[in-house]
Amino acid sequence: MYLKAAMFVAIGVLASVLLLLDSPTLRTASLLALAVWAFCRAYYFAFYVVQHYIDDRYRFAGLWSFVAYLRRRNR
């Protein structure tokens, strides 16, 4: 599992570096940082906040599980 996590970090760092090398502007760096931050917060909300503050019966099982949870909850 640690190797898998390290590979995700390596892919993210490599993609970020390549993007910044392709367009080395402050605007690109700022938008990239904002996108990473926003996706991290969304992931945190989908699994930690929902499980601990909104619905304690919900259990983490992946993004598709979260989408299914939202669909069931809205019906």
Q: Residue 40's domain spans which residues?
A: 2-74
* Phi, psi (deg, nearest 5) at residue 44: -60, -45
pTM for this model (two decimals)? 0.68
Summarize pLDDT for 16-30 with one digit per residue, the tens. 999 999 999 999 999
Q: Which is nearest to 45 in space by CA: 33, 29, 58, 32?
A: 58
Q: How many domains does the chain have?
A: 1
Kindly give, in sequence order, each residue whose CB lies less than 8 Å from that of residue 60, ignoring residues fewer than 6 positions away.
47, 51
d(CA 29, CA 60): 32
Report residue 57's pLDDT band, with 50, 70 and 90 as the boundaries.
Answer: confident
Q: Which is nearest to 73 in space by CA: 48, 54, 60?
A: 54
- State residue 30's pLDDT score: 97
